[in-house]
Structure 1
Amino acid sequence: MNQVYTGKLLKSLISFNPGIYILNVFFWSLFIFSPLATGLLTKQIFDSIERSNVSFSYLWGLIAIWGGFVLLRSFLYFLASISHIYLDYYSTGLLRRNLFVQTLRSVSRLNVPGSLGEILNHFRDDVNICARLVGNSMLIPGCILFSMISFATLYSINNLVAIWVFTPLVVITISLNILKVKLQEYRSQNRQATSEVSGFIGEIFGSIQTIILGSAEERVAAKLKDLSNNRRKKIIKDVLLSKLIETFFSNINLIGTGILIIVAAEGLKNGSFSIGDFVIFTYLLPFITEVIDTIGLFLARAKITSVSLQRISKLLPQASPKEILAHYPLSPEKHQDVAGPLNSSLETLETLSLKNISYRYPNSQNGVSNINLDIKRGQTVVITGRTGAGKTTLLKVIIGALKFKQGFYYWNSRPIKNQIMELGAPNIAYSPQTPVLFNGTLKENILLGIGDKHLDRSLDLAVLKEDIVKMPDQINTVIGSKGVKLSGGQIQRTSLARMFARNADLLVVDDVSSAIDSHTEIELWENLSKLDKTIIVASQNKEAFRKADKIIVLKEGKIAAEGELEELLSSSEEMQYLWGVNQQKQ
């Protein structure tokens, strides 16, 4: 797994727009330093009141200057906040853009571990945590300088009082920040538990019919209850510790003031510690406490950010730190095709060759091994085998959804070194075994944003036109989430129409007719045979065998035999078995 480190994150996000970052450091440093000026003016005002020979105009002049500094501080806060909005936009925008692109480039959900709720949690919370660290870092220069200069100023006024007042406050603040690390840990567990609940609820809504038919309502409810109870426990820990820390922080200035009164009482009595001295101590006390807390919070968030970066790296194990932190324009009109393959401009397909290709699923022996395959332009190749033989896996290797562990892949004579990045539209179009449809119109689901130049032809090829005529709004009929308003055959043919609309050189189909009646299936195969395309189909269907120029027979992830139908029926026991099973079904 490629780990992204906190230092690299800060360096990348700061250098993405250094002008905005420097502007933030400048404005926030001025804002942090401004209480020192108003504090010294406040001391001067109270010291002047103690002296009887100060003119009325001088005193009001000081008050006017003090008011001007307060207004200036408010204006600085406004400028700093505006610049921080831009910094937050660039930080979160760049990270989310890169995560989204890398997720899309993973192609298959097999390459993206975790439920939908967990993935959304990464995009929302983990990115926010990383961006907040950058936001905190811009405060650190001003905080460090302010705390040092303020303490030196108070130390020069009365060193004994300064030490007695601030030593316990620093100890308390550091202790509370140590507790904040634990709080962030609880908060992370809370978010994880929440994402598990939301992800499971999403799965329930997507599988209501399956749950009812399987009489699994009680078991599903029990599982949801367990997840909810776990979330409740995490929330209680989070809230209790949060309120404890909040209670201490809300009273820390009162503690400091109390210590100040006790320590400075004798000085106030004998005149060695003036009212002005007391005022500047009490005035700067909350600001110094706040900047110490900010420094501690930055160190705590650095640790939490490291955990978030580990989670992001785990989400996208194939993405390098360079890809996750890469700099790209965030304006859509400046960078349109952010999600496409790095190199989708392959030459027109003439030959496709796989040499000793192997792929194994993580922590499993399932997959394909030592696959040698040569396909010429215009051929229809059927990949067949028993259930679990590796048909779908081989198709996903061919389209680039799975990255093979060993072997060589050639598009014409060109070696494909990273098929996940290099393969895809417009050269390859794929119709999966279980199509994914969205809650939109039929037309939107077929085109998915591309032009409709090949739409009419794709409907003919997928044998969909007769069905569309019967729909209430024809091709603009809303089909519902996952295509719930369509039949199983219509869902499969919609996926085929989506594939045909791409007009790709290589068409890859996983089980073209599993939910289609025999008459429509024959018509589909007739349409496929008329195309001047290279077609690879995973199927156990007799009609597919008859139309194939070449049949690849898989057994336990390896090629057991290959050739034409008649040849295989006479020489391959595995093919004879598959043909016999089909005859029994029919």
Structure 2
Amino acid sequence: MMTYKSGLYTLNCILWSCIHVEPLLLGLLFKQFFNILKPGENFTINLFSIIALTSVYTIGRMINIRWGAMVDNKHRFNMSALLRRNMFESILKKPGASSIPCSQGEALNCFRDDARTIEDSISWTLDFIGNVVFVIVAVTIMVSINAKITLFVFTPLVAVVGIVQVLRSKLQKYRVASREATGLVTGAMGEIFSAVQAIKVAGEEENVVRYLEKLNRQRHKMMLKDTLLTQSLHSIFYNTVSIGTGFILLLAAGSMKNGDMTIGELSLFIYYLNFISDFTSFFGGFIANNRQAKVSFLRIAEVMQEDNLYNAVEHNDLHLKSGNKDTKDNINISEKFSAEDLTDISVEGLSYQYKTSGNGIEDIHFRLKKGSFTVITGRIGSGKSTLIKVLLGLLPSDGGNIKWNGKTVTNPAEFFISPYCAYTPQIPNLVSDSIKNNILFGLQEEAVDINNSLHAAVLEKDIKELENGLDTVIGPKGVKLSGGQIQRVAVARMFARKAELLVFDDISSALDVETENKLWNRLFKDRPATCLVVSNRRGALKQADQIIVMKDGRIEAIGRLEELLDHCDEMKAIWG
């Protein structure tokens, strides 16, 4: 990471090295001040000279610290932003249904805390370099004054390194445990907020609170261990240094008594000794932080699902400069990619198996023609939703081909997006914003016929009944709306994309029969789009040009409703 923005890192290093080395000059001024106190020295002239030099030093140091802080803030931001950018890119490139291997809370904790820990680790290398330069020069000067006493300066440093090495495994163990416990709490809170209605309906408020309290007690325990060990180490470092400093000053007093050291040399020695002692304490914290940064890198790699840690620090542009106009807001949805409009989709031998359960889909073959309405039906666990997710690239296929107008789709996750495809899942994802912004979701309002999308989604009546209409803020995941309204807002968002292929994954589960029938009727009347629908509802099955019957991850039969009711036992069982 040090080579990312190498010019910025170098400038930061120079500035902070100067900041750490500058006190060497002040120490020499202190020495000169005490030396002019001796009889026979021109006290007045020397005093004003020292005051003038000290003023120049102070002003220069203030300017240096200001510039150092500005550059360091920018450098720190670039370090953590690069990590977060690479994590985000990795997550987005993964199939949607398996983008993160942990809870959302753990992932957010990784974005926030682990990136900050690594940012600290990189930034502290600048302090380490500056301190090392200071110590080398200061020790050289101190050895020239009294080599015996100077040797005692390094005794606390050896003790600090030994303590850190002994407690290294515990540092890593407690940091991992505290981060995991924090992730469980934040993840649970996110799930609770998204399931408020279900919790209230089930009357499980007290049990949910008890569960959250249990997780918080566990987090408190783990965080206490981590914080206690970290603070104990800091205490040991400072106390070890203080005890060592006391012995050194006793030795220096003896040298003063014997006349081996002047008062100016003693003041210089004491002044430098304070900085060297601080470096000893800093060195212990620096090593401990690097141990914790290693844990953070491993956690980031886990979230990214990468074996190679270098992918987390891959150099990429952060696009921080103003004036970059290459955004979604400037893309008109009527502008389509240089590809043919849909005439035919064919699926050949599509397969996928979940690693945990072994379930999935196997050897799926079917075709969709332009303007057709195809329904995938089957019992619970038959593989309906899995088929949709593999088709759209939300799960990685284990085999098979998908062809659009006879051309193989090599990356379904990147291909099946607007304007090729629009998709509404079983559980739609809405954000805490207005209904209008949830439908537009980044598109230009003037490029979307939002009223037509509301009508097609059978949502216009609901909007009129809301106090703020389309500007109503719906809360996290649409918590202020009913289940059916959430589904229809997601459907309206899908219609706004004007896609060639519309995919509905069991949206009727949250709709009453009358609303569902209105939705299908309006869809057929207003839109010539090709539709792929997961449903067991009779209304959808009656409208279907083609029904795909799933059983145990395989296609049991394909045909129209009348044909399947004649010869397919599975279809008869579903129809009831």
Query: 2:513 is matched with which residue?
Result: 518
Contact 1:384/1:539, CA 8 A, preserved across alignment: yes
Distance 1:474 1:167 in 2: 72
* 1:413 Cα deviation from its structure 2 partner: 3.8
1:57–1:202 distance in 2 versus 1, CA, 3 Å = same
- In structure 2, C-alpha distance between the alignment counterparts of 1:426 and 1:149, rounded to whole Å: 66
Aligned to 2:279: 291
Q: Is the 8 A contact 1:386 1:578 kept in 2?
A: yes
AA in 1 matched with 2:320: L
Structure 2 gap ranges (5+)? 331-335
Query: Is residue 87–residue 303 contact of structure 2 (8 Å, CA) maintained in 1?
Result: no
Counterpart CA distance in 1 for 2:383 and 2:564 is 19
Aligned to 1:169: 156
User: C-alpha displacement at 1:31, in angstroms?
Assistant: 0.9
Give, as a single letter, the amino acid of the residue that structure 2 aligns with 1:169.
Answer: P
Equivalent positions of 1:177-576 (< 5 A) are 177-178=164-165, 179=167, 182-183=170-171, 185-317=173-305, 321-322=310-311, 325-328=314-317, 329-331=319-321, 333-334=323-324, 336-337=326-327, 345=337, 347=339, 348-452=341-445, 453-530=448-525, 531-576=527-572
For the structure 1 residues 306 and 425, does the alpha-carbon distance in structure 2 shift closer, same or farther, using more than 3 Å as the test? farther
Q: Cα distance 1:462–1:53, how it changes in 2: closer, same or farther (>3 A)?
A: closer
Residue by residue over 1:277-321, the C-alpha shift from the partner in whole angstroms, topping out at 9 and shown as x without a partner, is 222221111212333444444443333222212212221226975
CA distance in 2, matches of 1:137, 1:409: 51
| Distance (whole Å) between structure 2 residues aligned to residue 432 and residue 510 of structure 1 | 5
Assess if the C-alpha contact under 8 Å between 1:464 and 1:493 holds in 2: yes
Matches for 1:13-162 after TM superposition, within 5 Å = 14-15=3-4, 17-50=5-38, 52-106=40-94, 108=96, 110-162=98-150
Are residues 182 and 64 of structure 1, via their aligned partners in 2, closer, same or farther at CA, if it must alter by over 3 Å? farther
Task: Mark the CA change 1:371 to 1:354 in structure 2 (over 3 Å): closer, same or farther.
Answer: same
Instruction: Tell me how far 1:432 sits from its aligned partner.
Output: 1.3
* Residues 371 and 558, structure 1, Cα contact 8 Å, conserved in 2: yes
SS at match of 1:383: strand
Q: Percent identity at matched positions?
A: 36
AA at the equivalent of 1:259: F
SS at match of 2:557: strand
Q: CA deviation at 1:180?
A: 7.7
Q: Which amino acid aligns with 1:327?
A: N
Tell me how large the CA RMSD over aligned residues is. Answer: 2.8
Q: Secondary structure at the match of 1:356?
A: strand
1:6 paired residue number: none
SS of structure 2 residue aligned to 1:334? coil
Which position in structure 2 is the counterpart of 1:4? Answer: none
Displacement after TM superposition at 1:181 (Å): 7.5
Secondary structure of the equivalent of 1:503?
coil
Q: Distance in 1 between matches of 2:284 and 2:419?
A: 52
Structure 1 counterpart of 2:242, which letter? L
The CA distance in 2 between the partners of 1:457 and 1:90, in whole Å, is 44
Separation (CA, whole Å) in 2 of partners of 1:68 and 1:76: 12
Work out whether residues 193 and 476 of structure 2, in 8 Å CA contact, stay in contact via their aligned partners in 1.
no
Q: Using the TM superposition, name which of 395-404 and 119-128 deviates more.
A: 395-404
Q: Are 1:256 and 1:285, in contact at CA under 8 Å, matched by a contact in 2? A: no
Counterparts of 1:561 and 1:574, CA distance in 2: 9
Q: TM-score, normalized by length of structure 1? A: 0.88
1:107 Cα offset (Å): 6.3
Distance in 1, Cα, partners of 2:469 & 2:54: 73
Pair 1:304–1:336, CA change in 2 (3 A): farther
> Following the alignment from structure 1 to structure 2, what is the Cα–Cα distance between the partners of residues 351 and 361?
29
Deviations 1:463-513 (A, max 9, x none): 222333333333333344433443333322222111101111111001132
Note closer, same or farther for the CA distance 1:319–1:389 as it changes in structure 2 (3 Å cut): farther
CA distance in 1, matches of 2:6, 2:279: 24
Work out whether residues 31 and 267 of structure 2, in 8 Å CA contact, stay in contact via their aligned partners in 1: yes
1:233, 1:491 → 2: CA distance? 39
Cα distance in structure 2, aligned partners of 1:31 and 1:482: 49
Residue 183 (structure 1) shift = 4.7
Change (3 A) 1:188 1:45: farther
Rounded to whole Å, the distance in 2 between the matches of 1:68 and 1:487 is 69
1:473–1:257 distance in 2 versus 1, CA, 3 Å: closer
Give the Cα–Cα distance (whole angstroms) in 2 for the partners of residues 300 and 91 of structure 1. Answer: 20
| Structure-2-length-normalised TM-score | 0.89
Corresponding pairs, count: 564
AA at the equivalent of 1:325? E
| TM-superposed deviation, 1:25 | 0.7
Give the deviation of 1:34 after TM superposition: 0.9
- 3-state SS of the aligned residue for 1:138? helix
CA distance in 2: counterparts of 1:211 and 1:109, whole angstroms:
25
Cα distance in 2, alignment partners of residues 55 and 214 from structure 1: 87
